[in-house]
């Protein structure tokens, strides 16, 4: 065990893992995060807290993570490279660990132009690959990016993302291998709607033996409405939403039920894909549906350690 976080215990036990996602509010109302976390309690093993997702200012992921620690839950703090340089990131990592946070997910971060501060400076002092390596060095070598020693060891379960729907497609599995080489402990993927492409990516992942080195959690998003599906298809960078799914939703009399069904079917299928160690359910702004999806997908109850 590295940190002994709940997520790590589930993954190391070999049980098919299930993580959820919470979006911090555009306010200082910590109770909103707690409310959403309560909805997911018992249905997921760990809770991603996004870091100003799509470059929109929100309560910090670390602050929200600390709220979850207080609730006895296992947060996964997202850290992007967009807003902070290596000094700030390392400082925040120390702070997160001091607050009892055990899982950190490394991301590059959407460009600031997508958010509510489009004229902000994009920092990008380091990239997501370097962030993984920096955390690994802080943990395994007790050394900061600049070479100085930490005064005492820290423990972090290091996560990263990979997007099978980005290009060049043929490089995407190799890029995942590079993240493993950089020092990652677990992977969460971008949301999967195009299952064929995901399976082609997984084939390559297995060929390279990456699934044996790190657990891969496949990302899913339940579609709440036709509008939401179309928005994701046309406006969210890095996603592919096939027309068949849009058509299926369009034809369904009850869009929400169809959205749930599509998500549940996807999870049930992902459980059979060799090398997929779990799912990451991203139902931001539809948190209340997670228990139903998890239950219908046969992932409830969650293991207790």
116 in contact with another protein (CB under 8 A) = no
Paired tokens of 12 = 């190391």
Residue among 71, 108, 195, 246 that touches another protein (CB under 8 A): 108
* Residue 87 Cβ vs another protein, minimum distance, rounded to whole Å: 12
Residue among 76, 79, 81, 241 that touches another protein (CB under 8 A): 81
Residue 262's alpha-carbon distances to 130, 197, 218, 254, 279, in angstroms, are 36, 17, 15, 12, 14
> What b/e readout covers 38-54, taking b as 16+ CB neighbours within 10 angstroms?
ebbbebbbbbbbbbbbb
Q: Which stretch binds another protein (CB under 8 A): 117-125, 248-256, 262-270, 292-300?
A: 117-125
* Residue 7 Cβ vs another protein, minimum distance, rounded to whole Å: 21
Torsion angle of C-alpha atoms 72, 45, 181, 238, degrees rounded to 10: -110
Residue among 111, 197, 230, 302 that touches another protein (CB under 8 A): 111
By residue count, the chain amounts to: 305
166 in contact with another protein (CB under 8 A) = yes
91 in contact with another protein (CB under 8 A) = no
In the bound state with another protein, the residue whose beta carbon lies nearer, of 27 and 234, is 234
Residue among 44, 161, 184, 218 that touches another protein (CB under 8 A): 161
Paired tokens of 173 = 């599995």
* Residue 14 Cβ vs another protein, minimum distance, rounded to whole Å: 28
Paired tokens of 241 = 């939403």
134 in contact with another protein (CB under 8 A) = yes
181 in contact with another protein (CB under 8 A) = yes
Inter-residue contact 280 to 48 (CB < 8 Å): yes
- Cα 9 from Cα 236, distance rounded (Å): 33
196 in contact with another protein (CB under 8 A) = no
Q: Which stretch binds another protein (CB under 8 A): 2-10, 81-89, 209-217, 260-268?
A: 81-89
Residue among 61, 163, 219, 282 that touches another protein (CB under 8 A): 163
147 in contact with another protein (CB under 8 A) = no
Contacts with another protein by CB under 8 A: the residue count is 36
Find the binding residues for another protein in span 204-263 (CB under 8 A). 237-238
Which residues is 19 bridged to in the sheet?
A: 46, 280
| Residues lying near another protein in the complex (CB under 8 A) | 81-82, 86, 108-111, 113-114, 122, 124-130, 133-134, 145, 161-163, 165-168, 171, 174-175, 178, 181-182, 190, 237-238
């Amino acid at each position: 065990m590295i940190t002994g976080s709940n997520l790590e215990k589930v993954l190391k036990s070999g049980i098919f893992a299930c993580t959820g996602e919470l979006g911090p509010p555009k306010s200082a109302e910590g109770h909103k995060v707690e409310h959403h976390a309560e909805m997911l309690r018992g249905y997921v093993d760990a809770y991603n807290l996004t870091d100003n997702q799509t470059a929109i200012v929100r309560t910090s992921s670390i602050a929200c993570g600390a709220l979850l620690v207080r609730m006895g839950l296992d947060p996964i703090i997202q850290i992007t490279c967009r807003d902070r340089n290596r000094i700030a990131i390392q400082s925040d990592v120390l702070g997160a660990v001091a607050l009892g946070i055990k899982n950190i997910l490394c991301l590059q971060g959407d460009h600031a132009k997508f958010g509510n501060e489009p004229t902000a400076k994009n920092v990008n002092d380091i990239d997501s690959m370097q962030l993984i390596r920096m955390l690994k060095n802080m943990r395994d070598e007790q050394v900061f990016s600049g070479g100085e020693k930490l005064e005492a060891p820290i423990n972090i379960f290091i996560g990263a993302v990979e997007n099978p729907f980005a290009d060049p497609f043929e490089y995407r599995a190799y890029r995942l291998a590079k993240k493993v080489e950089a020092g990652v402990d677990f992977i969460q993927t971008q949301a999967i709607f195009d299952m064929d492409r995901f399976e082609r990516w997984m084939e390559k992942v297995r060929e390279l033996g990456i699934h044996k080195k790190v657990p891969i959690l496949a990302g899913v998003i339940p579609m709440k409405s036709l509008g939401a599906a179309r928005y994701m298809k046309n406006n969210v960078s890095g996603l592919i939403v096939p027309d068949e799914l849009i058509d299926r939703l369009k034809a369904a009399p009850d869009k929400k039920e169809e959205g749930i069904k599509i998500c549940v079917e996807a999870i049930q299928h992902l459980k059979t894909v060799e090398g997929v160690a779990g799912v990451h359910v991203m139902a931001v702004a539809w948190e209340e549906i997670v228990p139903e999806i998890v239950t219908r997908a046969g992932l409830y109850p969650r293991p207790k350690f």
